[in-house]
């Protein structure tokens, strides 16, 4: 992120590397000793996870970075405390790593953070770190002290002895096999709530059950979670109480030398509140060191009673690495610069802020965007030394930052470069920011102004006060104002409820407390719920998504001399609302705001209930209903009969009907492209919105009681039933197949019934219901006259509209005839047809409103004398003509041959006619065309006379007409 001009950090890294090499060379011997102690502990009957070995001399290890090779795990051998971090990462499966051989029972404390990532083959960590008691988080990775992510094989994350993460939080990312971590109380472990990032692991895990635990929290089924209050750890050695500075248990009653780990500062294994004389506290490690250890071992400096990594502002180091105050002529300035590729230092978390500890001049711009909750006291410790910023200062989208007090020592912002060429200070979109800072000395902007917007809790008064104490060009400032103002310390506005109805609330407040502008905000709330805080109320208008706003002015309000009145309308009935009124503008002393006022509107007639179809059969309809604030439902059912007169007036043989049950079927949508589908859905959405608005506007209510009447129906209802209020589904039974029914539902209470919710739906059709029960066919002897007798289906799927009669024989000849239902009924259900072909079988296709069905073919017999008697006296031909029977084109091979012959004959005649006309020069003598038309007359005349042709001058043919009936005067010479 940035580079410091100091060089002692590089020396500290070299010292850390030397310590790592020493730890690795001594690892084997210490490992043997550790195993011996572990075996002795087990033999004594004490579990590893519950009882740690008695405290001995500490062995400090510096930061340990284990990556690429699992053999580097030996760097942790014999470490009792890691004064730094532990990072285990990027260990592949090849070569194979046996993690069960790596156990570090001596490790109890990590002063910074611990990270696991990309370690393959590691399934659990409880045996690896059985006695790890505390992760102090004195330095964090981002905002986290424990991070576990991208662990493809990790199944259990267990630290049996871990009682506290003193600073920072927990991050658990992508661990697809991780189970039972939901039983851990992470907030209890990190001592702060709500900032831990825990991603859900495997969905195949069994729910963890904490067995044998004092609390309901556990790492897994048999490993309980401990907390920092569980300070009496070893019951079997008769320990009743521990010293106040102990953490995680002890080995002797009340002794500061027998603690499992120290809650705070450790002086060679003794837990103390402060370091003794001639020793210096290295705060990052929470340990006391002599001057020699501080200077030579840790490459630090001594300052008063502390061992510090740098001398604070105004001090310099002497030859003994002691921090001495600078003289009047000495320059004691520390400068921090951004990376060469960037012009700004960005602070995302406490770890980034810690890197700037002691920095006095930021050689670039400083950008702060902290989105997680942090301890702002630690920000003060890290950033309070900053005096100058060469670029600009930008604090944006720091959603948890409440104050900028850590900038109190800032003296100058140069503004090179400016943000957006205008601003040296930018405060934008900080939801919790309510306090700026009071400069300890004069603060100036060399160039540029201020930009402050969308800071929900930063009031206008504080901004103006800060604007007044900073030396800068005020004409360049842009501050949130008008209806976005946040009131600083407003007086209490007395808000009263004068009257309430089911859709309105009349409010009043004193005129003496009213300023130039008013803002009334309100929102609905569930019963018994109180709004916890008013942060949203101080947000800009565009952010208050849950609140409705009314901007008011005094001259638009009604008043009675002492109070203003306003009627808040368009509310929902029987709904609880939270209302707040604030007034601002003009003099800041006139700012006032009321407390949140809770008011509930009166009850109204229930709204129209929800009614939708769940399922249907050919004899039943099942509907789902839903409403609220009602006592019962009233369901009315009407049968909407099909218009028989209209159906009979239409000739369905020439105008077939669509199959109603298939209008929304897949075969229709299959020919619909994507754009048509979207357009259809948009039209449906518009139609639903239109219907909903109409129902809303004309629904029955106490405001519109004239609309609370029953709809007039032409016929009496088929069913009218009252249903209990808790009815969710209702089935209508014993309905007719493929009939249209109108269902009207009302929700009723003691105030009345709601408007109707109407659902029109047909029952299903039944396969085979349209089949004929009996079909007989016969042929009159010595003729091709056929007589068919069949009655209508008993209970068809809706009304029958037409019949199509199919004939066939063994020679693949077929014929079809169509007649409407009315024609067949008029003929008393007897159909006679005169055909030109002999057929042996026939069948009838019945068309109803639901579709069509073909009955089985029946054999055509010879008609008896009785069967030849028709129920009317007219002959068959006259019967067919009067009934208007349509003969469908015969679909046989014989008829096809005749048709082809006729087409060829007409085509030949046309060609002959054209040739004759051409020979007669009719194309050039159009006026004389009448002499050759009609062709029949011309052929008749030609039969009696013939024309003669002669060749004139060897190239022109002249035609002479012979007419025996002509006289010599008919031809001119």
The domain ranges of the chain are: 56-230, 333-479, 491-599, 605-656+716-764, 775-862
* pLDDT for residue 35: 32
* 3-state secondary structure (DSSP) of residue 852: strand
The SS3 call for residue 84 is strand
Q: Give me the residues paired with residue 497 across strands.
A: 507
CB-CB contact of 501 with 571 (8 Å): no
> Distances from the Cα of 3 to the Cαs of 11, 342, 478, in angstroms?
15, 12, 34
Hey, which bits of 585-675 come out as E strands? Answer: 592-593, 597-600, 610-616, 621-626, 632-640
pLDDT at 539: 54
As a whole number of angstroms, the distance between CA 355 and CA 1 comes to 9
Q: Under 8 Å CB-to-CB from 801, ≥6 apart: which residues?
A: 647, 650, 652, 657, 820, 821, 847, 848, 849
* Helix orientation angle between 27-43 and 8-25, rounded to the nearest 10 degrees: 60
Q: Where do we find the tokens 């209702």?
A: 730
Contact of 738 with 849, CB cutoff 8 Å:
yes
What string of H, E and C letters represents the secondary structure of 476-501?
Answer: HCEECCHHHCCCCCCEECCCEEEEEC
What average pLDDT values come out for the chain (973 residues) when binned by 10 residues?
A: 38 42 38 33 33 61 88 90 91 81 92 92 90 88 88 89 89 87 84 75 75 83 80 60 86 86 90 91 90 89 86 79 80 80 86 81 92 80 88 91 90 92 92 87 92 85 87 90 61 87 90 86 86 57 70 89 91 89 70 86 86 92 90 91 86 69 42 61 68 63 64 69 92 91 90 86 90 92 91 90 93 90 91 91 92 92 88 41 36 48 83 76 51 44 45 43 40 33
CA atoms within 13 Å, Cβ hemisphere of 536: 18
DSSP string, 404-453: -GGGTT--EE--SSPBTTTEEEEEE--TT--B----SS-EEESS-EEEEE
How distant, in Å, are the alpha carbons of 776, 840, 845, 860, 892 from that of 857?
Answer: 10, 10, 10, 9, 18
Rounded to whole angstroms, the Cα distance separating 437 from 466 reads 8
- 813-839 burial: b if 16+ Cβ within 10 Å, else e: bbbbbbbbbbbbeebeebbbbebeeeb
d(CA 699, CA 704): 8
Local structure of residue 906 (DSSP, 8 states): H
491-599 and 605-656+716-764 in the same fold: yes
Distance, CA of 137 to CA of 167 (rounded, Å)? 5
Q: Which residue has the tokens 């837990």?
A: 271
Cis link prior to 30 (omega < 30° from 0)?
A: no
Dump the DSSP string for 867-878: TT--SSSS-HHH
Tell me which residue of 347, 406, 410, 408 sits closest to 382, measured CA to CA. 406
Q: Which pLDDT score is estimated for 536? A: 53
Beta strands in 44-112, from DSSP E residues, in sequence order: 60-67, 81-91, 109-110
Q: Do residues 179 and 358 lie in contact, with contact meaning Cβ atoms separated by under 8 Å?
A: no
Cβ count within 10 A of residue 484: 18
C-alpha Rg value of the chain to the nearest Å? 50
DSSP letter, residue 953: T
Topology of domain 56-230, per CATH?
Answer: 24 nucleotide stem-loop, u2 snrnp hairpin iv. U2 a'; Chain A (3.80.20)
What is the structure's pLDDT at 565? 93
Q: Which two tokens stand for residue 409?
A: 């020592």
Do the beta carbons of residue 793 and residue 773 sit within 8 Å?
A: yes
CA distance 654 to 636: 39
DSSP letter at 465?
Answer: H
The domain made up of 491-599 has a fold known as Immunoglobulin-like (2.60.40)
Residue 380 exposed, middle or buried by CB count within 10 Å (0-12, 13-18, 19+): middle
Q: Give the Cα separation of 82 and 420 in Å (integer).
A: 46
Task: Say if residues 621 and 635 touch (Cβ distance below 8 Å).
Answer: no
Residue-level pLDDT at 128: 92
* Spatial separation of the C-alpha atoms in residues 378 and 356, rounded to whole Å: 12
CA distance readout (Å), 470 to 439, 441, 452, 777: 9, 10, 14, 110
Give every CB contact of residue 892 below 8 A, 6+ residues apart in sequence. Answer: 811, 812, 813, 814, 815, 837
Compute the distance between CA of residue 98 and CA of residue 118 in angstroms, rounded to an integer.
Answer: 16
Phi, psi of 59 (to 5 degrees): -120, 110
User: In the chain, count of helices (H) and strands (E)?
Assistant: 14, 64
Identify the bridge partners of residue 817 per DSSP, sorted by sequence position. Answer: 805, 887
Cβ-based neighbour number of residue 107 at 10 Å: 23
For the domain made up of 605-656+716-764, the CATH class stated in words is: mainly beta
The first and second tokens of residue 791, run together, are: 């009655």
* Distance from C-alpha of 186 to C-alpha of 113, rounded to nearest angstrom: 16
* Contact residues for 95 (Cβ-Cβ < 8 A; gap 6+): none
CA atoms lying within 13 Å on the CB side of residue 732: 28
Query: CA-CA distance, 466 to 488, in Å (whole number)?
Result: 13
Is the backbone of residue 397 left (phi > 0), alpha (psi -120 to 50) or beta?
left
pLDDT at 49: 34
Residue 417 preceded by cis peptide, ω within 30: yes
Say how far residue 58 (Cα) sits from the centre of its chain: 53
User: Token pair for residue 957?
Assistant: 């043919």
Look up residue 463 and give its two tokens.
């901004």
Q: For residue 84, what are its two tokens? A: 């730094």
| CA distances for 522 relative to 334, 525, 833, angstroms | 53, 10, 81
Buried/exposed 32-44: b ≥16 CB within 10 Å, e otherwise: eebeeebeebeee
What's the CATH superfamily of 775-862? Immunoglobulins (2.60.40.10)
Q: 533-538 long-range CB contacts below 8 Å, 24 or more apart?
A: 534/580, 534/596, 535/431, 535/432, 535/456, 535/457, 536/456, 537/580, 537/582, 538/456, 538/457, 538/459, 538/486, 538/487
pLDDT at 462: 83
pLDDT at 590: 67
The span from the CA of 560 to the CA of 566, in Å, is 12
Provide the CATH number for the domain formed by 333-479 in this structure: 3.80.20.20
Largest CA-CA distance found in the chain, in angstroms, rounded: 165
């Amino acid at each position: 992120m940035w580079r410091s001009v100091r060089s002692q950090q590089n020396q500290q890294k070299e010292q850390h590397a030397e310590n790592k090499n020493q730890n690795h060379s001594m690892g084997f011997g210490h490992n043997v000793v550790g195993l011996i102690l572990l075996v002795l502990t087990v033999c004594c009957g004490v579990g590893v996870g519950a009882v740690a070995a008695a405290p001995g001399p500490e062995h400090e290890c510096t930061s340990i970075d284990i990556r690429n090779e699992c053999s580097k795990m030996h760097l942790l051998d014999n470490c009792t405390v890691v004064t730094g971090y532990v990072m285990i990462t990027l260990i592949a499966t090849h070569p194979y790593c046996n993690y069960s051989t790596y156990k570090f029972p001596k490790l109890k404390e990590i002063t910074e953070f611990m990270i696991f990532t990309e370690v393959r083959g590691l399934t659990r960590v409880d045996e690896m770190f059985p006695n790890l008691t505390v992760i102090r988080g004195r330095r964090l990775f981002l905002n986290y002290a424990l991070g576990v992510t991208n662990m493809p094989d990790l199944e259990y994350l267990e630290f049996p002895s871990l009682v506290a993460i003193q600073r920072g939080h927990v991050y658990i990312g992508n661990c697809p096999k991780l189970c039972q971590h939901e039983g851990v109380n992470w907030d209890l472990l990190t001592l702060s709530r709500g900032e831990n990032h825990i991603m859900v692991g495997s969905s195949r895990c069994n729910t963890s059950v904490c067995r044998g635990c004092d609390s309901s929290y556990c790492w897994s089924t048999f490993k309980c979670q401990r907390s920092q209050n569980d300070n009496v750890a070893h019951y079997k050695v008769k320990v009743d109480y521990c010293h106040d500075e102990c953490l995680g248990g002890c080995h002797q009653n009340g002794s500061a030398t027998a603690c499992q780990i120290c809650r705070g500062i450790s002086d060679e294994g003794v837990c103390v509140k402060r370091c003794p004389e001639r020793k210096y506290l290295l705060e990052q490690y929470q340990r006391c060191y002599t001057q020699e250890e501080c200077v030579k071992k840790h490459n630090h400096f001594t300052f008063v009673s502390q061992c510090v990594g740098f001398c604070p502002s105004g001090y310099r180091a002497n030859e003994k690495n002691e921090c001495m105050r600078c003289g009047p002529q000495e320059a004691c300035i520390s400068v921090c610069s951004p990376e060469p590729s960037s012009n700004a230092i960005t602070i995302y978390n406490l770890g980034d802020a810690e890197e700037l500890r002691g920095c006095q001049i930021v050689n670039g711009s400083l950008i702060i965007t902290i989105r997680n909750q942090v301890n702002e006291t630690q920000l003060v410790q890290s950033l309070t030394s900053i005096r100058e910023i060469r670029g600009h200062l930008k604090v944006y989208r720091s959603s948890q930052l409440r104050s900028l007090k850590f900038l109190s020592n800032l003296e100058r912002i140069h503004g090179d470069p400016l943000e957006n060429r205008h601003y040296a200070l930018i405060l934008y979109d900080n939801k919790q920011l309510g306090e700026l800072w009071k400069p300890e000395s004069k603060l100036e902007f060399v160039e540029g102004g201020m930009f402050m917007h969308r800071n929900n809790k930063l009031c206008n008064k504080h901004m103006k006060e800060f604007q007044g104490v900073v030396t800068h060009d005020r004409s360049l400032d842009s501050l949130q104002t008008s209806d976005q103002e946040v009131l600083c310390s407003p007086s209490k506005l007395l808000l009263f409820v004068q009257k309430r109805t089911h859709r309105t609330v009349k409010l009043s407040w004193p005129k003496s407390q009213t300023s130039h502008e008013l803002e009334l905000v309100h929102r609905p709330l569930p019963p018994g719920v109180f709004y916890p805080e008013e942060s949203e109320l101080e947000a800009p208008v565009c952010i208050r998504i849950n609140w409705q706003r009314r901007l008011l002015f005094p001259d638009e309000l009604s008043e009675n001399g002492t109070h203003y009145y306003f009627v808040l309308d368009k509310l929902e009935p029987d709904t609880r609302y939270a209302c707040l009124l604030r007034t601002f503008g003009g003099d800041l002393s006139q700012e006032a705001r009321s407390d949140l006022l809770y008011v509930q509107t009166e009850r109204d007639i229930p709204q129209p209930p929800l009614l939708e179809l769940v399922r249907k059969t050919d004899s039943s309809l099942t509907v789902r209903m839903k409403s609220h604030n009602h006592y019962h439902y009233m369901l009315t059912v009407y049968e909407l009969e099909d218009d028989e007169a209209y159906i009979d007036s239409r000739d369905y043989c020439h105008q077939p009907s669509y199959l109603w049950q298939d209008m929304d079927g897949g075969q229709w949508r299959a020919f619909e492209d994507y754009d048509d589908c979207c357009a259809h859905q948009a039209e449906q959405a518009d139609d639903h919105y239109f219907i909903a608005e109409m129902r809303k506007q004309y629904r029955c209510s106490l405001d519109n009681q004239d609309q609370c009447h029953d709809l007039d129906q032409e016929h009496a209802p088929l069913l009218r039933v009252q249903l209990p209020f808790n009815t969710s589904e209702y089935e209508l039974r014993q309905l007719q197949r493929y009939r249209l029914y109108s269902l009207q539902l009302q929700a009723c209470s003691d105030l009345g019934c709601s408007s109707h919710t109407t659902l029109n739906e047909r029952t299903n059709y039944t396969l085979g219901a349209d089949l004929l029960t009996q079909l007989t066919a016969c042929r009159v002897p010595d003729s091709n006259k056929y007589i068919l007798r069949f009655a209508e289906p008993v209970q068809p799927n809706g009304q029958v509209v037409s019949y199509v009669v199919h004939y066939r024989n063994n020679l693949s000849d077929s014929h079809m005839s169509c007649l409407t239902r009315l024609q067949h009924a008029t003929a008393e259900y007897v159909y006679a047809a005169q055909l030109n072909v002999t057929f042996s079988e026939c069948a009838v296709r019945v068309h109803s409103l639901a579709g069509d069905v073909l009955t089985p073919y029946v054999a055509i017999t010879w008609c008896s004398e009785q069967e030849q008697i028709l129920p009317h006296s007219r002959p068959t031909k006259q019967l067919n003509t009067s009934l208007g029977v349509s003969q469908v084109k015969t679909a046989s091979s014989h008829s096809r041959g005749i048709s082809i012959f006729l087409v060829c004959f007409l085509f030949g005649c046309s060609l002959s006619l054209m040739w004759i006309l051409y020979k007669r020069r009719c194309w050039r003598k159009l006026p004389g065309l009448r002499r050759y038309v009609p062709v029949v007359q011309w052929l008749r005349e030609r039969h009696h006379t013939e024309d003669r042709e002669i060749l004139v001058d060897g190239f022109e043919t002249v035609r002479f007409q012979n007419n025996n009936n002509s006289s010599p005067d008919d031809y001119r010479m």
